[in-house]
Chain A
Amino acid sequence: MNRLIEKATMMFCWMSIGLLLGAGILILGYLLVKGLGAVNLKLIFGGTIPLDALLFKKPVFDGLFPAILGTLALVVLSVSLAVPIGISTGIYLAEYAGPYTKKIFNLFFDILAGIPSIVIGLFGFSLALFLHKHYSKNVQPCLLISGLALAFLVLPYIIRTTQVTLESLPSFVRVTGLALGATKLQNILFVLLPKSFSGIISGVILAIGRCAEDTAVIMLTGVVAMAGIPKSLLAKYEALPFYIYYISSQYKDTQELMTGYGASIILLLLCLLLFSIAFVLKRQLTYLALYRA
């Protein structure tokens, strides 16, 4: 092969790496340089004393505390809705479904996974409208609807990781329990699920990360610019990614912009932490699967 082509290829690959890493470092570096100075207690609690705010005695204005709580509430709500259904579906697909059923369901969940997040948000909004008209006047785009919509968003992740983890368990693990006289259900609950724990958890953590960072879904289903800490499931709320979007498009002065940078750093750290944990768990799983089998 031509020396020239070899050299050109190597150069091209090095350039690509340079470009990508350069872009990544530029983005992260810019945020850190601009925003690290802004990350302090005042950013989170505004003018209120932290202890008062944490004990909910006094409301927090001009601080990220309500947005952080809102994001937390969202994550807890959507994950607790998605995990039971997702894991059960994954178990069904891995253990009980016939090949034809499996193929159809897999297609459905692939489609679900591919739906843009704003379409899911639109669905959540229409659901809220529908319930508002036909069920109860109290229903409006709110924390509950957002949690539901986010659950729909992350359902495919959980289903897929549960299914893949269960299916990749080596056959001797599956067979041993049954040989000792356990029923299918007992086998699943006491042998297979504990063995798949780290894989399923990595899927759950991925889902948590996705819920924390998503903006399009919550924009359509109830997040607002100012609402205080979330007081009820049927109320509007604030969230961190929406705060960042809102500030970026309309900031009154440099100080407000700084809070945007600070919020970005907090969100970034949160998501990077979650994704790193998920990756580490996935690696452990691959190690176990490849070297223990």
Chain B
Amino acid sequence: MRFQEAIAEKGFSLCALLSGAVTVTVFAFMVILGFPLIREGQAFTLLIKPWIPGSGFYGIYPMIVATLAIASLGVAIAFPISLGCASMVSVLGPRPVSLIVRRVVELMTGIPTVIYGFVGIFLLVPVVRNLFGQGSGMCILTASLMLAILVSPTMILFFSDSFNRVPQSYLAAIDALGGSKVQKLYHVIIPCARNGMLIGLMLALGRAIGDTLIALMLAGNATGVPGSLLDSARTLTAHIAIVIAADYESLEFKSIFLCGMVLYLFTTFVTIGIRFVGVREGGKKA
């Protein structure tokens, strides 16, 4: 009996170690396979150089700029919309509206990314092209708009949950003082849920940085540093998807492992940042 227990415990802990090992191994592979670049001291210069394989430039600077631009613009567009919707769902809305909207939003979180990209090509790209009269319609703006639609449902649900977690006593206090719903929102709920909202924002940012399909299908994939919102651009994720087809002894190919490293580090920082904010909130609550 004791024996069984010990084996079970060892077995479970082995699984846990295996799972944890995956996290580390992913990063290790990126580093090992991108090593020739680091060894030749090019890793840092690659982060600030342009991408011209014909002349031997394998810099991923344009991709870094594009990733940050599309991700931050997408989240910036999604934030106010999500805030408005979450407020309506949790605080301001009449009951039936609140329920319907919540159901629809929950449904929208299940839509596959490739479908957003697919519809974007036929619906959004021509609209952007005709609206601005220049550019092919496949640009940073289009990708950011679709990305905003992608991350909004999850952000709304997250914000809504944060709003619901505000202590009842605070809400009761405002009601007792005769405050309206909007006043409740501005003076109690949002300040209280501030940390939760920050976490939701960062989760969305992580998701936006790591998204491949929308950027691949809607942003145009040009190799230059984008100069304006209507310029075609290539994100780190789309770059990996495109260059995977190249010759894999070449430095060109190894650059995608550098992209992988950069992406891994970006999202890890965001994750650690979320934990940090979460810890602060936990401490404050107590």
Chain A residues near B (Cβ < 8 Å): 1, 5-6, 9-10, 12-17, 19-21, 23-24, 26-28, 30-31, 84-86, 88-89, 91-93, 95-97, 104-105, 107-123, 125-127, 129-130, 152, 155, 159, 183-185, 209, 212-213, 215-216, 219-220, 241, 244-245, 248-249, 260, 264, 267-268, 271-272, 274-276, 279
Question: Is the CB–CB distance between A184 and B23 below 8 Å?
Answer: no
Question: Is the CB–CB distance between A215 and B212 below 8 Å?
Answer: yes
B225 on interface, CB distance cutoff 8 Å: no
Between A and B, 20 residue pairs with Cβ closer than 8 Å are: A5-B182, A6-B183, A10-B92, A16-B82, A27-B116, A31-B115, A88-B11, A88-B15, A92-B15, A96-B12, A105-B16, A109-B20, A114-B268, A114-B270, A122-B30, A123-B260, A184-B5, A213-B113, A213-B114, A268-B115
B33 on interface, CB distance cutoff 8 Å: yes
Query: Which of A17, A111, A183, A241 makes the CB contact (< 8 A) with B23?
Result: A111
Question: Is the CB–CB distance between B88 and A17 below 8 Å?
Answer: yes
Interface size on B, residues (CB 8 A): 85
Question: Is the CB–CB distance between B185 and A114 below 8 Å?
Answer: no
Q: Mark B1-25, 1 if CB is under 8 A from A, else 0.
A: 1001100110111011011101111
B29 on interface, CB distance cutoff 8 Å: yes
Other 15 A-B pairs with CB < 8 A, given A85-B19, A119-B260, A271-B112:
A21-B101, A23-B149, A27-B149, A88-B11, A105-B20, A109-B20, A115-B264, A117-B210, A118-B212, A126-B33, A185-B9, A216-B212, A241-B114, A245-B213, A248-B118
* 7 nearest CB pairs, A to B: A116-B210, A16-B84, A275-B110, A213-B112, A88-B15, A92-B12, A216-B212
B137 on interface, CB distance cutoff 8 Å: no
Question: Is the CB–CB distance between A109 and B104 below 8 Å?
Answer: no
Question: Is the CB–CB distance between B85 and A13 below 8 Å?
Answer: yes
Question: Is the CB–CB distance between B256 and A122 below 8 Å?
Answer: yes
In the complex, residue of chain B having the shortest beta-carbon distance to the beta carbon of A86: B19
Tell whether A275 pairs with B109 under 8 Å between CB atoms, given A93-B16, A248-B121: yes
Question: Is the CB–CB distance between A89 and B119 below 8 Å?
Answer: no
Question: Is the CB–CB distance between A1 and B183 below 8 Å?
Answer: yes
In the complex, residue of chain B having the shortest beta-carbon distance to the beta carbon of A152: B22
A166 to chain B, nearest CB (A): 12
Tell whether A92 pairs with B84 under 8 Å between CB atoms, given A114-B268, A122-B256, A274-B110: no
Contacts of A113 in B (CB 8 A): 271
Question: Is the CB–CB distance between A155 and B19 below 8 Å?
Answer: yes
Contacts of B175 in A (CB 8 A): none
Question: Is the CB–CB distance between A267 and B23 below 8 Å?
Answer: no
Question: Is the CB–CB distance between B19 and A267 below 8 Å?
Answer: no
Q: In the complex, what distance in Å separates the CA atom of A19 from the CA atom of B270?
A: 28
Question: Is the CB–CB distance between A118 and B20 below 8 Å?
Answer: no
Question: Is the CB–CB distance between B123 and A91 below 8 Å?
Answer: no
In the complex, residue of chain A having the shortest beta-carbon distance to the beta carbon of B248: A129
Q: Is the interface of A mostly helix, strand, loop or mixed?
A: helix
B83 on interface, CB distance cutoff 8 Å: yes
Question: Is the CB–CB distance between B111 and A20 below 8 Å?
Answer: no
Tell whether A116 pairs with B211 under 8 Å between CB atoms, given A16-B88, A267-B112, A279-B106: yes
Contacts of B166 in A (CB 8 A): none
A276 to chain B, nearest CB (A): 7
Query: Which of A5, A16, A107, A119 makes the CB contact (< 8 A) with B30?
Result: A119
Q: In the complex, what distance in Å separates the CA atom of A21 from the CA atom of B103?
A: 11
Q: In the complex, what distance in Å separates the CA atom of A107 from the CA atom of B23?
A: 10
Tell whether A96 pairs with B30 under 8 Å between CB atoms, given A16-B81, A24-B108: no
Q: Mark B65-102, 1 if CB is under 8 A from A, else 0.
A: 00000000000000011111101100011000100010
Question: Is the CB–CB distance between A107 and B275 below 8 Å?
Answer: yes
Query: Which of B4, B87, B113, B186 makes the CB contact (< 8 A) with A185?
Result: B4
Tell whether A215 pairs with B111 under 8 Å between CB atoms, given A19-B81, A114-B267: no
A235 to chain B, nearest CB (A): 19
Tell whether A220 pairs with B244 under 8 Å between CB atoms, given A116-B209, A152-B22: yes
Question: Is the CB–CB distance between B111 and A1 below 8 Å?
Answer: no
B217 on interface, CB distance cutoff 8 Å: yes
Query: Which of A12, A93, A125, A152 makes the CB contact (< 8 A) with B244?
Result: A125
Question: Is the CB–CB distance between B182 and A9 below 8 Å?
Answer: yes
Tell whether A123 pairs with B5 under 8 Å between CB atoms, given A30-B119, A88-B11: no
Question: Is the CB–CB distance between B85 and A16 below 8 Å?
Answer: yes
A148 to chain B, nearest CB (A): 10
B237 on interface, CB distance cutoff 8 Å: yes
B270 to chain A, nearest CB (A): 6
* B111, B152, B275 — most chain A CB neighbours (10 Å): B111
Question: Is the CB–CB distance between B115 and A6 below 8 Å?
Answer: no
Question: Is the CB–CB distance between A215 and B115 below 8 Å?
Answer: no
Question: Is the CB–CB distance between B111 and A119 below 8 Å?
Answer: no
B76 to chain A, nearest CB (A): 14
Contacts of B114 in A (CB 8 A): 213, 215, 241, 244-245, 264, 267
